[in-house]
C-alpha cells in the first residue's frame, strides 16, 4: 500500500493563516474543526477503480469543504464539473494530451494527462508550458470545492521498478504542490505513485510507453451521510 503525500509546508501555512477557500475559490475562515483536521491514509486503487476514502476522516473533511453533497445533487454537481473541465481543456483534449471521463456508477471524474507533455524525460519538474493547463484545472477545482483530488503518477517500464516508483511519486507530488500553490485547499489534496505497475498500453513500443507515462487525477464528491 502506498501512503499519500500531502503538501505539508503549504498546509501548515494555510492552517496558521486560518484561511481556506469556498466553492468559488474565495478565502474564508477555517473553523476549529478544520484547523485540526488531518487527512488519513488512503489505500491504493485497483486498475480503473475509485479511490477508497474510508480512512480519510470523513467528518473533518466535510467540515473542511463547508458541508457535503446529498442526493441527486451529487450527480448534478459532478456532471457540471465534468462539463466545465471539458470546456476549459478543449484544446488539450482535441490534441490528445488530456482526457476527462465521468463514471455514472459513482460520479467519479478521471482526468488523465500524458506525462510527456508535463515533464522532461527522467524529471519531476513541471514544464513551463504545462502550467497554463494546470492553471485551468486549478480554477475548476476551486470552483467545485466539495470534492477531493487524488493525484496518481505512472511510468513506463524503462528503468528499475524502485526508481520508477520513486519517479512516479515525485511527479504526482509536483502536480499536487502546484494545485496547492493555486489556492486549491490542501485538505482536499493527496498524491501517490503507482510506478510501472498499471500500464494502459504496450511498453514494448514508444507510443505505448508514452501513454503509460501519465498523471491521473481522481476527483471525488464529498458526500454527507
Is the predicted pLDDT of residue 117 greater than 90, yes or no? no
pLDDT of residue 74: 94
| Domains of the chain from N-terminus onward | 8-221 (3.30.1330.60)
Whole-number pLDDT of residue 37: 34
User: 160-172 burial by CB neighbour count: b if 16+ within 10 A, else e?
Assistant: eeeebbbbbbbbb
Nearest to 218 by CA among 80, 111, 138: 111
For residue 161, pLDDT beyond 70: yes
Residue 44, burial from CB neighbour count under 10 angstroms (0-12, 13-18, 19+) = middle
Higher pLDDT, 164 or 28: 164
Amino acid at each position: 500500500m502506498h501512503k499519500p503525500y500531502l503538501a505539508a509546508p503549504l498546509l501548515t501555512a494555510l492552517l496558521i493563516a486560518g484561511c481556506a477557500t469556498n466553492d468559488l475559490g474565495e478565502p474564508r475562515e477555517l473553523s476549529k474543526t478544520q484547523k485540526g483536521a488531518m487527512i488519513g491514509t488512503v489505500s491504493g486503487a485497483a486498475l480503473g477503480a475509485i479511490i477508497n476514502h474510508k480512512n480519510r476522516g470523513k467528518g473533518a473533511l466535510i467540515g473542511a469543504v463547508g458541508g457535503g453533497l446529498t442526493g441527486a445533487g451529487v450527480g448534478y454537481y459532478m456532471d457540471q464539473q465534468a462539463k466545465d473541465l471539458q470546456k476549459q481543456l478543449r484544446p488539450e483534449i482535441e490534441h490528445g494530451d488530456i482526457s476527462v471521463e465521468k463514471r455514472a456508477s459513482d460520479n467519479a471524474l478521471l482526468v488523465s494527462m500524458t506525462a510527456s507533455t508535463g515533464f522532461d524525460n527522467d524529471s519531476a519538474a513541471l514544464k513551463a508550458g504545462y502550467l497554463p493547463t494546470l492553471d485551468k484545472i486549478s480554477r475548476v477545482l476551486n470552483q467545485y470545492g466539495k470534492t477531493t483530488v487524488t493525484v496518481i503518477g505512472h511510468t513506463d517500464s524503462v528503468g528499475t521498478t524502485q526508481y520508477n516508483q520513486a519517479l512516479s511519486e515525485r511527479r504526482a507530488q509536483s502536480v499536487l504542490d502546484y494545485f496547492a500553490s493555486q489556492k486549491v485547499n490542501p485538505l482536499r489534496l493527496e498524491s501517490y505513485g503507482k510506478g510501472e505497475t498499471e500500464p494502459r498500453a504496450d511498453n514494448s513500443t514508444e507510443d505505448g510507453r508514452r501513454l503509460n507515462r501519465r498523471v491521473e487525477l481522481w476527483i471525488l464528491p464529498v458526500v454527507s451521510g
